[in-house]
Structure 1
Amino acid sequence: MIQPYILSGVSFYSVWYWILTVVLWALICQRPLGVPYDMILRADRLPEVADRVDFLAHIQAERLNGLRETVGGPAAALIGFGLAMLAVLGFGFGVEVAQAGFALTFPMAMVAVATLALAARARREGAR
């Protein structure tokens, strides 16, 4: 049986939804390509920090490219299925919890795709 709160329209009005949204975006924005943002800011001023940032970025790019090559296809299929399921349940059947889940996960998936593309470009071009 479907629980009553699923269809009652409380997901987007919940303070916990917005706290989760803020926490997720704060975590995502703090480590672009796996390098802490404060190190990126210090790298402009200090050359030794810039070398460490390059080193960390290349390690992370290699790690992400390795993951993409080994489990990329199945992971993309599973994530795509999950997003499609949330979209159909949320926007096709009007389940607001699924809409809230889609609103949280779809932008995160786009950030993940952009991060993987950046990692592939960093490996290909040896970007600094």
Structure 2
Amino acid sequence: MNWYSSIFELIDMRSFSNLWFWIALAVVWSSASHWVLGVPFDMVIRARRVGGQAVVDLQDITRVNVNRILYVTDVSGIWILGFVCFLLSTLLVLGFYYWVEFAQALFLIGFPMSLVGLINLSTARRIRREDLQGADLSKRLTRCRIYTQIIGMISIFVTALFGMYQNLSIGVLG
């Protein structure tokens, strides 16, 4: 028995039975829900409650992040789309055709996050097109957050079901 075997006996390297995967999943969705278009959601709440300078700060940080997102999309959006589609397709084939558990885990995080990215892009375009300010901006950011949370809840549910299936099938077969 060498040190390599000892380490892998001590640390379970399968994704769905590893506590670190579930912690990472929670952190990913918590962060995606808190940072709407790169704006911390507590700023949206503060702008709604306090008004005044908090609204101005929210509008400024949203304007900066919307301009940044739309600039990156205009300059290299096609390349990013192609790379993300390639990566997700690779993970899909590796995970569900060749049954590589790590690729399954990454796909179950990456695919829903790509949907969140599309929602963020759509929201950024709408904010710029309609030149949203004040309460309308807060409503739009809140709606984007709600959509993100809905996708997150569905994603966590599906990932948990699939992870339980994996753990039970490996436990029975292994």
Q: 1:69 aligns with which of 71, 74, 77?
A: 74
Bigger Rg over Cα: 2
* Aligned residues between the structures: 122
Percent of aligned pairs with the same residue? Answer: 34
Q: 2:122 aligns with which of 109, 114, 117?
A: 117
SS of the residue corresponding to residue 44 of structure 1 reads: helix
Aligned-partner residue type, residue 33 of structure 1: L
Q: For residues 5-84 of structure 1, what are the structure 2 equivalents within 5 Å?
A: 10-48=14-52, 49-84=54-89
Alpha-carbon distance change, 9 to 34 in structure 1, aligned in 2, over 3 angstroms = closer
Is the 1:61–1:119 contact (alpha carbons within 8 Å) kept by the matching residues of 2? yes
Aligned-partner residue type, residue 123 of structure 1: R
SS of the residue corresponding to residue 11 of structure 1 reads: coil
SS of the residue corresponding to residue 63 of structure 2 reads: helix
Q: CA deviation at 1:9?
A: 8.7
RMSD, aligned α-carbons: 1.6
SS of the residue corresponding to residue 61 of structure 2 reads: helix
Quote the residue 2:104 is aligned against. 99
Is the 1:83–1:105 contact (alpha carbons within 8 Å) kept by the matching residues of 2? yes
Aligned-partner residue type, residue 35 of structure 1: V
Q: CA deviation at 1:113?
A: 0.8
* Ranges in structure 1 where 5+ consecutive residues have no aligned partner: none
Q: CA deviation at 1:20?
A: 0.7
Is the 1:9–1:96 contact (alpha carbons within 8 Å) kept by the matching residues of 2? no
Give me the TM-score of the superposition, normalised by structure 1: 0.89
Give me the TM-score of the superposition, normalised by structure 2: 0.66
Aligned-partner residue type, residue 16 of structure 2: F
